[in-house]
A and B are shown apart, each in its own frame.
Chain A
């Protein structure tokens, strides 16, 4: 049984560009949450998707948007990249409000 998978593993972009990160949840999971983890910090909640809708959002600007597909996979889009967006982006999946299981993340570097 595959766990949570994220792609790509690493990404290098320049300021102003746009990026799309992808996440496939664990089999049987219907809820996907995205987190941003800066170096030396704990993960910060970006948003959560359930039934293809954004159910809750953290304190992130509108440049951060997402989508959930009918197969429960999800994308995170970030527009107009800033240097400060450099971080590890983690996706977590769960069955509704149960334990969240994390993927290995996408390391985004903005130059």
Chain B
């Protein structure tokens, strides 16, 4: 059975801290890994990773994929209260003509002032 595991499940930090969010997976037909940020309802897209070892970066956020060890990390530096959200990791399974997302449970990040 395809599995995506995120850790830790929740995290409380102070503004200015750096955090690392983890995502490991055991799936068949891996195509890519996506990170989303969910603040209230709509998950918003952050990164898509398809190749090992290539870091994707956007401002204070960065992410990298290790296809050999089957995991990805999302780093957030100099955290702000606006970074408080649930961070979802999803693996895209390449099943012929279709592509479904298999999600982890999410990591709840709380950034205190």
Contacts and interface: CB of A to CB of B under 8 A. Distances in A.
Interface residues of B, number: 27
B42 A55 contact: no
Contacts of A72: none
Given A45-B100, A58-B100, A102-B36, A40 B45 contact: no
30 contacts: A4-B42, A33-B101, A41-B105, A42-B6, A42-B103, A42-B104, A42-B105, A43-B43, A44-B103, A45-B100, A45-B101, A45-B102, A48-B98, A50-B98, A55-B97, A56-B98, A90-B41, A90-B42, A92-B101, A97-B99, A99-B34, A100-B34, A102-B36, A102-B42, A102-B43, A104-B40, A104-B41, A104-B42, A105-B41, A107-B41
Contacts of A45: 100-102
A83 B43 CA distance: 25
Contacts of B104: 42
Determine the main DSSP class of B at the interface with A. Answer: strand
B45 to A, nearest CB: 6
Interface string A81-94: 00000001010101
A90 B94 contact: no
B106 to A, nearest CB: 5
B98 A101 contact: no
A103 B42 contact: yes
Interface of B: 4, 6, 31, 34, 36, 40-45, 48, 88, 90, 92, 94-95, 97-106
Given A94-B99, A99-B45, 13 more contacts: A4-B42, A33-B100, A35-B101, A42-B90, A45-B101, A45-B102, A55-B98, A56-B98, A58-B100, A90-B41, A97-B99, A102-B44, A104-B41
B42 A105 contact: yes
